[in-house]
Structure 1
Amino acid sequence: MVLRIHFTAEDLLGTRFADGPAPLLELELAVAMRRRRDPDPAFARRHRSLAAPAARAIAPLNELVPATGAGPFFLDPLSAGLEDGLELVRRATRTAVRGELDRICRNGLPVTPLLRGLAHEDRQAWQQLERSLRAAHTALVDPVWPQLRAGFDTDLAWRGQVQREQGLRGMLAGLYPGSRWLGSTLEIAVAKQVEVRLEGGGVLLLPSAQWTGEPLCGPLPDGSLLLLYPALTPLPHLYLAERAPAPGADPDEPVAALLGRTRSAVLRLTLREPTTGQLARELGISPASASEHARALRRAGLVTTARAGRAVRHSCTPLGHRLIAAAGTPARQA
């Protein structure tokens, strides 16, 4: 299956990045990550540590947000702050609310009393929703907002470097592994077949350190398309990178600032084409953790993985070599 985005020249000229992470959109993605059956282990550990009262307060959002992250558009407007976002939620039209609730139910979410109340403009249902949004934001977004901002900023810095080297089309194709251009159409591998024809409004790009799923897209009020994709470095590793340097990693090294210290060390070790076990032994981490880091780097297009007998070897890609070289360290075989 594939998401096909049909660009015109005007759409390419109108492609730009968001100003920063959006509070309610990050909240919706955090709820979706809690619902996924196979989340990143680091995310799972963080979510298991959530206090019981906070988990109960968040529960109503589980009725609105599927594990795919494709919740109702009225629930996650782009805004600079929480209060601005909540005001946009309150101002959603009855037509928009009913249409979006109908969509998420057609896609598998059950019809619940809360959804019926929202659709019929029941005051108590809307008050319950706002209380849940506030509580969930306090529990899931506020504590990690600096890391979300850091993930956004470092991703933009990396995409800017890729665009300087490969142009806008190359940068767009590199947002998600396996993406490619067919003429003026960008194809992105996703779970469903989707066709999007842009009409001159362009694309607003939004990286999220909160999200590790496939890219998500949806229309914006100004006629452009929002394209959300996983940031280069996921939230848990941004959080941990502030606390524990990887063995042999330089905390001031530019690649470490972009990827996190452990992941930067993994990337450099792939110059030797190590196995997963060798990565784990070299860095003093578990094989599962080494495999997870290599997988994330592979998704970013920095590493390739190939089976060699019973072992799995990881190699640095040309893009990975250029990242290391741009940081000022020769990309030589160790």
Structure 2
Amino acid sequence: MLRIHFTDVDLARTRLAPAPDPMFEIAASLHRLQFRGGRWAYAGWYRTTRQRLREAGLERALRSVLLPLYPRAAYFPDFLTPADAVNGLDAGLESILATPPQRVVEEMTILDRTVGAPAWAGQLAGREARQEFAGILRAYFEAVVAPHAEQVQARIEAERAVRSRGLLDGGVEGMLAGLRPMLRWSPPVLEVAYPRQAEDRDLYLNGRGLTLVPSYFNWGEPVAFADPGLPPVVWYSLLHEPEARSVTAGAPDQSLTNLLGRARAVALRAASAGATTGEIARAAGVSASAASRHATALRDAGLITTVRHGPAVLHTLTPTGASLLRAATRRAEDDVTGTAV
């Protein structure tokens, strides 16, 4: 158990990351390759990952470099997931390259003491070796994480919409209270369900605030830096549902035809701001069961994504749904002004 202690200042400085953290998604995806738990939630990713790694010529680097440095264990080096990686892959790689050599050595020593480090790990203290390592990370990201970027972004945006509702209803404490079951808010402490093999510990924020980073590839157990002196960050897992069934030939056209109906058009527009099934029902003037069927059709067409928010579910647009809605809006505007599309 990790217990994170807040003050009023910490609550004011707590934030939810605006985008996926590419460096942590690299780490978490490598953990998925080492662990069978939750495979149903990443079935499509598993089907393509091994082939993509072969095509990119990364199988040897995976076995000899990446997996040894990112063990699914109580510890892997903090410098591999820098806090500012939420600003993008380039920012994360630059932070790895800028890590002081002494810190690299210290963290590799902890890795070796905890689960064993590869014999060459100390070489990463050198700039040249780290540049080569950064190249491997970039290649891995582009091969097996980037192809799923739209799906990851859609799920992160849905999670942000859910947390924003908690924030609006109850402030930061309301947002924290909605993070169950993996994180439990017991004011003024956020209790984090940590890996079983990790020791219980306390983290005092001391006015620094906390950054919460939802992760697509993380499964089950939130992760924080081992070093309490680093910027406080907690990466936590999204609540996954089984992947939607694949669309058969001709189905996309039928799904889009369904959208010409008034109720589903209203549902799509409502989802642009995040809407529960009840809110869709009220907006469209239909029953809750009918609204649920319309949401299912939109989700099967890849236009919305759905996440659970307490006893309710929240529907938000996928990138495809957002593009479709923008195109429809532009067409409507052009029709009003008499502009040809």
- TM-score if structure 2 supplies the norm length? 0.65
SS in 1 for 2:243: helix
Are residue 117 (structure 1) and residue 123 (structure 2) matched? yes
Task: Give the structure 2 partner of residue 101 of structure 1.
Answer: 108
Per-residue CA deviation, residues 122-172 of structure 1 (Å, 9 max, x unaligned), is: 84x435422321221111221111222222211111111122224322321
Task: Give the structure 2 partner of residue 320 of structure 1.
Answer: 311
Deviation at 1:231, TM superposition (A): 2.4
Q: Aligned in 2, Cα 1:66/1:173: closer, same or farther, shift over 3 Å? A: farther
Match among 125, 134, 138 for residue 134 of structure 1: 138
Residues of 2 paired with 1:40 and 1:86: CA distance? 28
Q: Does the CA-based 8 Å contact 2:75-2:114 persist in structure 1? A: no
Residues of 2 paired with 1:131 and 1:13: CA distance? 38
Q: Aligned in 2, Cα 1:68/1:140: closer, same or farther, shift over 3 Å? A: farther
SS in 2 for 1:145: helix
Residues of 2 paired with 1:104 and 1:258: CA distance? 42
Task: Give the structure 2 partner of residue 46 of structure 1.
Answer: 45
Task: Give the structure 1 partner of residue 325 of structure 2.
Answer: none
Q: Does the CA-based 8 Å contact 1:61-1:129 persist in structure 2? A: no
Query: Quick check: which has more Rg, 1 or 2?
Result: 2
**Comparing both chains, which one has the higher relative contact order based on Cα–Cα distances under 8 Å and sequence gaps of 6 or more?**
2
Tell me which amino acid in the other structure corresponds to 1:98: V
Task: Give the structure 2 partner of residue 194 of structure 1.
Answer: 201
Match among 216, 219, 222 for residue 215 of structure 1: 222
RMSD (Å), alpha carbons = 3.8
Residues of 1 paired with 2:74 and 2:38: CA distance? 12
Are residue 72 (structure 1) and residue 77 (structure 2) matched? yes
Per-residue CA deviation, residues 157-194 of structure 1 (Å, 9 max, x unaligned), is: 11111222243223213223164333411222222322
Across the two proteins, how many residue pairs are aligned to each other?
Answer: 267
Per-residue CA deviation, residues 1-31 of structure 1 (Å, 9 max, x unaligned), is: x221111111111111223112222212111
Q: Does the CA-based 8 Å contact 1:97-1:118 persist in structure 2? A: yes
Are residue 228 (structure 1) and residue 235 (structure 2) matched? yes
Tell me which amino acid in the other structure corresponds to 1:17: L
Tell me which amino acid in the other structure corresponds to 2:26: L
Task: Give the structure 2 partner of residue 16 of structure 1.
Answer: 15
Task: Give the structure 2 partner of residue 328 of structure 1.
Answer: none
Task: Give the structure 2 partner of residue 289 of structure 1.
Answer: none
Task: Give the structure 2 partner of residue 61 of structure 1.
Answer: 66
Alignment of structure 1 residues 285-304 onto 2, 5 Å: none
Residues of 1 paired with 2:74 and 2:44: CA distance? 19
Residues of 2 paired with 1:142 and 1:15: CA distance? 28
- TM-score if structure 1 supplies the norm length? 0.67
SS in 1 for 2:110: helix
Q: Does the CA-based 8 Å contact 2:43-2:243 persist in structure 1? A: no
Q: Does the CA-based 8 Å contact 1:23-1:81 persist in structure 2? A: yes
SS in 2 for 1:211: coil
Structure 2 stretches lacking a partner, 5+ long: 278-287, 290-295, 297-305, 316-341
Q: Aligned in 2, Cα 1:255/1:68: closer, same or farther, shift over 3 Å? A: farther
Q: Aligned in 2, Cα 1:127/1:15: closer, same or farther, shift over 3 Å? A: closer
Deviation at 1:197, TM superposition (A): 1.1
Structure 1 stretches lacking a partner, 5+ long: 262-270, 273-282, 284-296, 303-318, 325-334
Q: Aligned in 2, Cα 1:198/1:92: closer, same or farther, shift over 3 Å? A: same
Match among 175, 178, 193 for residue 179 of structure 2: 175
Deviation at 1:41, TM superposition (A): 2.2
Per-residue CA deviation, residues 278-334 of structure 1 (Å, 9 max, x unaligned), is: xxxxx9xxxxxxxxxxxxx9xx875xxxxxxxxxxxxxxxx324859xxxxxxxxxx
Residues of 2 paired with 1:257 and 1:101: CA distance? 45
SS in 2 for 1:212: coil
Of 215-224 and 179-188, deviating more is 215-224
Residues of 1 paired with 2:164 and 2:7: CA distance? 22
Match among 78, 89, 102 for residue 82 of structure 1: 89
Tell me which amino acid in the other structure corresponds to 1:11: D
Aligned structure 1 segments of 4 or more residues deviating by more than 4 angstroms: 219-223, 238-241, 247-259
